[in-house]
């Protein structure tokens, strides 16, 4: 009410109520094809489920401010994960608390009994966070609750028996992800507690049994474990069945702040056991990361993607708790990453997850041009290959150097007339991929933002493939078919208009640049 009175007062004082409003200026950091809320604060993707032709994306949302606050689930739908339609807020806090992160499933067999007229319900499983409990110094203010929808996720009814998993006195006890385990005809849930993951099972989504915990002695523990995901995957080439556990952690990521580590192993119906060939890479504080950039956090995969499609589709929050609440965007804060398809492959270092941009993104491709082949020769200007500005581009490059040579680092640079730049590079001597945003423009909002972010990446021989998606204020890099991935945001004070290749002793074997159209 107070807000309404203030707003009316401003209208009277400025007289704006009578004048036609000017068209809103183009927001300088608004991405062209990444998902952003129209306004206000967003964090983690939640409740990602495919149902009747639509990908649903719910997300942590605070409708009253551009900084984090009492959490709701915002909602959007898309037929292709690229073009999104914004829908009204889906789930509101109630007397049990705020609506924190969680997941959603289609309950095809109506195991919950929430279905209507022979149609399966959508069931959302999330953490509720009771502010009053936290303020009073208790430790049991987070617990798992469920809600159901019989109208394709538009309206939700809270289950009267909430919470479905109460809190035994563990402060951080959150972010349930549920999957249907077809082998055992049960629902499996994974969520995070402190710096561990917990596994539970249920036959009806209402009654849950604790199975086991995972984490002691495995992976990175520099912060809280949050937003896990557990799913089976088939190994490309061998057809072996493995289980993958994604486990976000904040802080404790390799380049600082928030990040997502993962484990590959077996889930025997009770325990998750990392694979022998994966284990050496992820024991005792060592970890393997889904994305080595600063800006991919709390990502999980879509539920109920039809078996005929068969992809394991992933989306992350393209920000970092180190500075998420102070980035220089006005009307809204944060974007999601582009959707990615995860693949499981053996590498010379053991089994690994690969991330590839989904093929649906090709629908955005506009004007295309080839990058001339041959030696980079110091610096090669690409600004005019497909025209300026370089705001939204896809770049695919095959680069090569001579056997026995170790060229100095090389890569792709975005720049503007003010000398601001972002470089995506590779250092053959260090065997590291990197994104350097130390001169990227506005960085004054946080001392933690400026960084050169590194990712270990051994090329097979003297060849590197780089696949880049640039979108106004972010770059996502997929090296060698998604074997190594980095995602970083940046905020130049003037749009980047320049694009160049830098390097010596390195050849372009093939290269293409596309302008990408707006998805909004």
Site string for ligand FRU, 19-58 (x = CB under 6 A): ------------------------xx--------------
By the rule CB under 6 A, 175 interacts with ligand FRU: yes
Q: Which two tokens stand for residue 49?
A: 């489920």
Shortest CB 84 distance to ligand FRU, Å:
20
Residue from 57, 227, 344, 412 in contact with ligand FRU (CB under 6 A): 227
Residue from 48, 71, 385, 455 in contact with ligand FRU (CB under 6 A): 71
Residue from 107, 226, 304, 488 in contact with ligand FRU (CB under 6 A): 226
Shortest CB 354 distance to ligand FRU, Å:
24
The per-residue DSSP string of 158-221 comes to E-TT--SB--SS-S-EEEEEEEEETTTTEEEEEEEETTEEEEEEESSSSS-EEEEEE-TTBS--
Shortest CB 470 distance to ligand FRU, Å:
25
Contact 437, 490 (CB under 8 A): yes
Q: 18: Cβ–Cβ under 8 A, 6 or more apart, which residues?
A: none
Shortest CB 234 distance to ligand FRU, Å:
29
**Dist CA 80 CA 78 (whole Å):** 5
Centre a 10 Å sphere on the Cβ of residue 190 and count the other Cβ atoms it contains: 26
By the rule CB under 6 A, 282 interacts with ligand FRU: no
Shortest CB 225 distance to ligand FRU, Å:
9
By the rule CB under 6 A, 174 interacts with ligand FRU: yes
Residue from 91, 123, 147, 298 in contact with ligand FRU (CB under 6 A): 298
Question: Which residues are paired to 393 by β-bridges?
Answer: 470, 515
What per-residue string of b and e applies to 33-67 under the rule 16 or more CB within 10 Å gives b?
A: bbbbbeebbbbbbbbbbbbeebbbbbbbbbeeebe
**Dist CA 402 CA 39 (whole Å):** 50
- Nearer to ligand FRU (CB atom), residue 101 or residue 515: 101
By the rule CB under 6 A, 335 interacts with ligand FRU: no
Q: 111: Cβ–Cβ under 8 A, 6 or more apart, which residues?
A: 187, 203, 204, 205
Give the HSE-up count for residue 211: Cα atoms under 13 Å, Cβ half-sphere.
Answer: 21
**Dist CA 229 CA 248 (whole Å):** 9
- Nearer to ligand FRU (CB atom), residue 127 or residue 145: 127
- The secondary structure element, H or E, covering residue 369 is strand 365-370
Tell me, by CB under 6 A, how many residues bind ligand FRU: 12
Active-site residue, 175 included? no
Residue from 31, 41, 60, 91 in contact with ligand FRU (CB under 6 A): 60
The DSSP secondary-structure symbol of 132 reads: H
Longest dimension (CA), the chain: 74
By the rule CB under 6 A, 145 interacts with ligand FRU: no
- Nearer to ligand FRU (CB atom), residue 133 or residue 456: 133
Shortest CB 312 distance to ligand FRU, Å:
21
> Strand 157-158 relative to strand 173-181: parallel, antiparallel, unpaired?
unpaired
Active-site entry in 44, 436, 480, 488:
44
3-state secondary structure 1-43: CHHHHHHHHHHHHHCHHHCCCCCCCCCCCCCCCCCCCCCEEEE
Shortest CB 387 distance to ligand FRU, Å:
38
- Nearer to ligand FRU (CB atom), residue 174 or residue 421: 174
- Nearer to ligand FRU (CB atom), residue 30 or residue 174: 174
By the rule CB under 6 A, 295 interacts with ligand FRU: no
- Nearer to ligand FRU (CB atom), residue 288 or residue 298: 298
**Dist CA 173 CA 191 (whole Å):** 7
Site string for ligand FRU, 97-136 (x = CB under 6 A): ---xx-------------------------x---------
Shortest CB 317 distance to ligand FRU, Å:
7
By the rule CB under 6 A, 208 interacts with ligand FRU: no
Contact 216, 268 (CB under 8 A): no
Shortest CB 327 distance to ligand FRU, Å:
15
**Dist CA 294 CA 411 (whole Å):** 19
- Nearer to ligand FRU (CB atom), residue 98 or residue 123: 98
- Nearer to ligand FRU (CB atom), residue 150 or residue 325: 325
By the rule CB under 6 A, 75 interacts with ligand FRU: no
Give the HSE-up count for residue 246: Cα atoms under 13 Å, Cβ half-sphere.
Answer: 30
**Dist CA 221 CA 417 (whole Å):** 42
Q: Which two tokens stand for residue 430?
A: 């260090």
- Nearer to ligand FRU (CB atom), residue 28 or residue 251: 251
Q: What is the CA radius of gyration of the chain?
A: 23
Shortest CB 61 distance to ligand FRU, Å:
9
- Nearer to ligand FRU (CB atom), residue 334 or residue 432: 334
By annotation, the residues acting in catalysis are 44
| Residues of this chain that bind ligand FRU (CB under 6 A) | 43-44, 60, 71, 100-101, 127, 174-175, 226-227, 298
């Amino acid at each position: 009410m107070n807000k309404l009175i203030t707003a009316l007062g401003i209208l009277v004082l400025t007289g704006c109520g009578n004048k036609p409003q000017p068209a809103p200026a183009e927001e300088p950091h608004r991405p062209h094809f990444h998902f952003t809320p129209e306004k206000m604060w967003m964090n983690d993707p939640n409740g990602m489920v495919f149902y009747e032709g639509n990908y649903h994306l719910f997300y942590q949302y605070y409708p009253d401010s551009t900084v984090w606050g009492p959490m709701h689930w915002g909602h959007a739908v898309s037929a292709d994960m690229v073009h999104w339609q914004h829908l009204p807020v889906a789930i509101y806090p109630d007397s049990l608390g705020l609506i924190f992160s969680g997941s959603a499933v289609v309950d095809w067999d109506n195991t919950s009994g929430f279905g209507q007229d022979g149609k399966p319900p959508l069931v959302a499983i999330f953490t509720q966070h009771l502010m009053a409990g936290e303020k009073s110094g208790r430790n049991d203010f987070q617990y798992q609750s469920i809600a159901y929808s019989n109208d394709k996720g538009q309206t939700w009814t809270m289950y009267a028996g909430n919470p479905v998993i109460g809190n035994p006195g563990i402060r951080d006890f959150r972010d349930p992800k549920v999957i249907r385990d077809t082998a055992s005809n049960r629902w499996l849930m994974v969520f995070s507690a402190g710096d561990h993951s917990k596994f539970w099972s249920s036959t009806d989504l209402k009654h849950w049994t604790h199975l086991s915990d995972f984490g002691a002695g495995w992976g990175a523990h520099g912060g809280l474990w949050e937003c896990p995901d557990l799913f089976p995957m088939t190994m490309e080439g061998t057809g072996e069945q493995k289980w993958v556990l994604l486990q976000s952690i904040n802080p404790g990521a390799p380049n600082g702040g928030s990040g997502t580590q993962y484990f590959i192993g077996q889930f025997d119906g009770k325990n998750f056991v990392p694979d022998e060939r994966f284990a050496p890479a992820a024991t005792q504080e060592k970890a393997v990361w889904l994305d080595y950039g600063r800006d991919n956090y709390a990502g999980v995969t879509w539920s109920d993607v039809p078996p005929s499609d068969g992809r394991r589709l992933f989306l992350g929050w393209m920000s970092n708790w180190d500075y998420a609440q102070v980035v220089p965007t006005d009307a809204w804060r944060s974007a999601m990453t582009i959707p990615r398809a995860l693949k499981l492959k053996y590498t010379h270092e053991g089994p690994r997850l690969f991330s590839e941009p989904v093929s649906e993104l090709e629908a955005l491709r506009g004007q295309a041009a080839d990058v001339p082949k041959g030696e980079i020769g110091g610096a090669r200007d690409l600004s005019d290959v497909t025209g300026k500005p370089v705001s939204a581009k896809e770049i695919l490059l095959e680069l090569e150097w001579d056997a026995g040579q170790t060229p100095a680092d090389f890569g792709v640079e975005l720049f503007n007339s003010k000398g601001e730049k972002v470089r995506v590079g590779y250092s053959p001597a260090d065997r590291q991929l990197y994104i350097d945003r130390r001169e990227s423009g506005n960085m004054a909002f946080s001392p933690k933002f400026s960084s050169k972010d590194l990712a270990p990446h051994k090329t097979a021989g003297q060849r590197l493939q780089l696949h880049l998606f640039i979108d106004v204020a972010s770059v996502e890099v997929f090296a060698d078919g998604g074997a190594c991935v980095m995602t970083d945001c940046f905020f130049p004070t003037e749009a980047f208009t320049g694009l160049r290749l830098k390097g010596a002793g390195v050849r372009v074997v093939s290269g293409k640049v596309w302008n990408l159209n707006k998805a909004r």
